[in-house]
Chains A and B, each alone.
Chain A
Amino acid sequence: MADTVSIKPGPALAAATKAGIEPRGAKPRRTLSGRNIMLYGTLAVAALYYLLPLYVMVVTSLKGMPEIRLGNIFSPPLEVTFEPWAKAWATACTGLNCDGLSRGFWNSVRITVPSTLISILVASVNGYALANWKFKGADLFFTILIVGAFIPYQVMIYPIVIVLREMGIYGTLTGLIIVHTIFGMPILTLLFRNYFSSLPEELFKAARIDGAGFWQIYFRIMLPMSLPIFVVAMILQITGIWNDFLFGVVFTRPEYYPMTVQLNNIVNSVQGVKEYNVNMAATLLTGAVPLFVYFVSGRLFVRGIAAGAVKG
């Protein structure tokens, strides 16, 4: 691949520059077909590699089991069947019950929606307080929060279990929602703090002079002005919470397991004959929500992860 980028205007130019002669105009970058073939060829091969698993998932999920046993995983289905999808959704077994992924899907919805909303509300208010109403010691808490983002979850899981158990909500959806709010806080607070700090201060001052208080300024000025960053935060949270596995498995009872946990239980269950087509349909169904968010949101997603990347 390095070859692709090394094809460059020759050394003649260097000699000319050394002799003090101005380069004779911008040497038009030759649309060297060789260079372009290398460039686009490499990119296309890489793109194929990235697309392959998605393709395999789709074709496998549309085949019947006899065809899977005979054919190879890359061949398109001879006979398209949607039965695996129906089965994955409604009747696949996890070892505990046989009502398919639908249960996990609705659990995930019931986890993701409130967790996203609450974590964003809490974090945006935190960020706003840090940006505009800083009090003594606020930075200390914020620093602990950001450093905490790097601590492996495994270190904090058990103390949280104890706290939730004491509160009587260990194993419930409420408990899991609180956990998601906690672990979403560092990155979201950072995101909102930075965004609110970048807004012109005059706005805030003018509102203060007009007698607006903390909440009034938040709801009537900051919130309406910051819709893009709220969308970024939502993308970040929806995909992150939907894809979570660890918290789901630790903090909820089996009847509340989110989709990822249930998917893993279906596919990796040791009982019965492996139905690869059903497994792949189930996998696609679980990936569908974040993929949908990803394809719809486009550039905003990139912004979200660039912000999320600061956290790591």
Chain B
Amino acid sequence: MTGQAHTGRPSKLLRNLSSKIASIPMMLTAVVIFLGGTVWTVVYSFTNSKLLPRAKFVGLDQYERLWDAPRWIVSIQNLAIYGIFTLIFSLVIGFLLAALMDQKIRFENTFRTIFLYPFALSFIVTGLVWQWILNPEFGVQSVVRSLGWESFTFDPLYNSDIVIYGVLIAGLWQGTGLVMCLLLAGLRGIDEDIWKAARVDGIPMWKTYLFIVIPMMRPVFITTLVIIASGIVKVYDLVVAQTSGGPGISSEVPAKYVYDYMFQAQNLGQGFAASTMMLVTVAIIIVPWAYLEFGGRKRG
């Protein structure tokens, strides 16, 4: 029986009962896992939990230890480098490809298929392929050397100063296709008349892009930015597959720090503190965006 038929009856809870029952998984996920789990982790990041979570609070101890740990500092630096370059390059390359694809070209579908297929692959596959291509003994370096340039050196995965750029190359290969697709959809959303008007006014095409089209695509860019950014914070499997954090600790990232401390080093408190820092990072990215996008309208 659906409670809907008896509207106005005192038992308000029974109204729309089927719908409520059907929504139980969603409510449980939202409240128990997403809300409850997050609060739980944040609370326990103030404890000295080791092998098992213990509610013995030690204030900010875990955070002090975290920010004293060289490995965490390296992780944060790597994330910053990886993040900034990923944002810049994937937006620039993605937009250039999208702009080229938007020139009413032939074989558009073929090109799109090629640019996007890496996105269908997992980060593990991506990491392993690029580990092989960047292998100094057999990969790009050895090929260039065998062509006669004996002193050519390109071994990012074995050089702790630049290893994160090796990861970056792989990450860009995997992700730019998506950015291209999103921005292309945005370009297609621009009114044809804008282009006609710009052409009638004799504005060069690059200027039209730079000063008219890109500003008009602001919402698309912001959405894309948020997508790239929240993906960056999560970067984990790529590093695990490509470098395992090495050489040494030079390509560690925060997500890996969390995993290793929670499940390998049996130091839960550190893991919780590190994951809370990740949450803070995401919040810094998301909250202003959510406020701009939804804040004004929803509250009204």
Of listed B41, B135, B142, residue having the most chain A CB within 10 A? B41
Number of A-B pairs whose CB atoms are under 8 Å?
292
Q: 28 interchain pairs (CB within 8 A)? A: A5-B206, A6-B204, A9-B202, A13-B202, A17-B202, A50-B177, A53-B129, A56-B129, A60-B132, A72-B142, A72-B146, A73-B133, A73-B138, A122-B25, A126-B26, A144-B31, A151-B282, A152-B255, A152-B278, A156-B41, A158-B44, A185-B29, A267-B128, A267-B131, A286-B124, A295-B117, A298-B113, A302-B181
Q: Does B99 sit within 8 A of A, measured CB to CB?
A: yes
Distance, CA A125 to CA B236, complexed state (A): 32
Q: Which of A245-266 contact B (CB under 8 A)?
A: 245-246, 250, 260, 263-264
Q: Does B16 sit within 8 A of A, measured CB to CB?
A: yes
Binding site for A on B (CB under 8 A): 2, 15-16, 18-20, 22-23, 25-27, 29-38, 40-42, 44, 53, 96-97, 99-101, 103, 105, 109, 111-125, 128-133, 135, 138-140, 142-143, 146, 173, 177-178, 181-182, 185, 199-206, 209, 223-224, 226-227, 230-231, 233-234, 236-237, 240-241, 244, 255, 258-259, 262-263, 268, 271-272, 274-276, 278-279, 282, 286, 290
Kindly report which residue of chain B lies nearest to residue A125, judged by CB atoms: B22
Which of A4, A39, A72, A245 makes the CB contact (< 8 A) with B124?
Answer: A245
Distance, CA A283 to CA B203, complexed state (A): 49
Q: Does A43 sit within 8 A of B, measured CB to CB?
A: yes
Kindly report which residue of chain B lies nearest to residue A214, judged by CB atoms: B18
Taken residue by residue from 151 to 167, chain A's Cβ proximity to chain B (1 for < 8 Å, 0 otherwise) reads as 11111111110110000
Question: Knowing that A12-B202, A264-B128 are A-B contacts, what are 6 other residue pairs whose CB atoms are under 8 Å apart, sorted by A's residue number?
Answer: A52-B133, A73-B140, A129-B22, A141-B27, A152-B282, A306-B185
**Distance (Å) between the CB of A247 and the closest chain B CB?**
11
Which residues of chain A come closer than 8 Å to B34, judged between CB atoms? 144-145, 147-148, 151, 156
Which residues of chain A come closer than 8 Å to B44, judged between CB atoms? 158
Kindly report which residue of chain A lies nearest to residue B254, judged by CB atoms: A154
Known: A40-B105, A305-B181. A5 touches B120 (CB 8 A): no
Which residues of chain A come closer than 8 Å to B139, judged between CB atoms? 73
Which residues of chain B come closer than 8 Å to A10, judged between CB atoms? 202
**Distance (Å) between the CB of B215 and the closest chain A CB?**
17
Which of B22, B101, B115, B237 makes the CB contact (< 8 A) with A260?
Answer: B237
Q: Does A77 sit within 8 A of B, measured CB to CB?
A: no
**Contact of A301 with B133 in the complex, beta carbons under 8 Å:** no
**Distance (Å) between the CB of B42 and the closest chain A CB?**
8
Known: A43-B100, A156-B34, A309-B223. A246 touches B120 (CB 8 A): no
Which residues of chain B come closer than 8 Å to A306, judged between CB atoms? 181-182, 185
Which of A1, A148, A263, A264 makes the CB contact (< 8 A) with B35?
Answer: A148
Which residues of chain A come closer than 8 Å to B133, judged between CB atoms? 52-53, 56, 73
Kindly report which residue of chain B lies nearest to residue A292, judged by CB atoms: B120
The 9 closest A-B pairs by CB, nearest first: A14-B202, A148-B34, A243-B122, A214-B18, A133-B19, A159-B37, A294-B120, A144-B30, A245-B237
**Distance (Å) between the CB of A282 and the closest chain B CB?**
8
Binding site for B on A (CB under 8 A): 1-2, 4-15, 17, 23, 39-40, 42-43, 46-47, 49-54, 56-57, 60, 68-69, 72-74, 122, 125-126, 128-130, 133-135, 138, 141-142, 144-145, 147-148, 150-160, 162-163, 181-182, 185, 189, 213-215, 239, 242-246, 250, 260, 263-264, 267-268, 276, 279-280, 283, 286-287, 290-291, 293-295, 298, 301-302, 305-306, 309-310, 312
Distance, CA A153 to CA B271, complexed state (A): 12
**Contact of B201 with A6 in the complex, beta carbons under 8 Å:** no
Which of A138, A294, A295 makes the CB contact (< 8 A) with B23?
Answer: A138
**Contact of A155 with B181 in the complex, beta carbons under 8 Å:** no
**Contact of A5 with B99 in the complex, beta carbons under 8 Å:** yes
Which residues of chain A come closer than 8 Å to B31, judged between CB atoms? 141, 144
Name the prevailing secondary structure of the B interface residues. helix
Distance, CA A250 to CA B138, complexed state (A): 34
**Contact of B121 with A295 in the complex, beta carbons under 8 Å:** no
Which residues of chain B come closer than 8 Å to A57, judged between CB atoms? 129, 132
**Contact of B120 with A239 in the complex, beta carbons under 8 Å:** yes
**Contact of A268 with B114 in the complex, beta carbons under 8 Å:** no
**Distance (Å) between the CB of B132 and the closest chain A CB?**
6
Which residues of chain B come closer than 8 Å to A47, judged between CB atoms? 111, 114-115
Distance, CA A51 to CA B206, complexed state (A): 28
Distance, CA A120 to CA B32, complexed state (A): 20
Distance, CA A276 to CA B262, complexed state (A): 32
Distance, CA A162 to CA B36, complexed state (A): 12
**Contact of A159 with B36 in the complex, beta carbons under 8 Å:** yes
Of listed A215, A246, A295, residue having the most chain B CB within 10 A? A246
**Contact of A154 with B258 in the complex, beta carbons under 8 Å:** yes
Which residues of chain B come closer than 8 Å to A68, judged between CB atoms? 138
**Distance (Å) between the CB of B143 and the closest chain A CB?**
4
Which residues of chain A come closer than 8 Å to B117, judged between CB atoms? 50, 54, 291, 294-295
**Distance (Å) between the CB of A252 and the closest chain B CB?**
12
Which residues of chain B come closer than 8 Å to A138, judged between CB atoms? 19, 23
Distance, CA A291 to CA B231, complexed state (A): 21
**Distance (Å) between the CB of B290 and the closest chain A CB?**
8
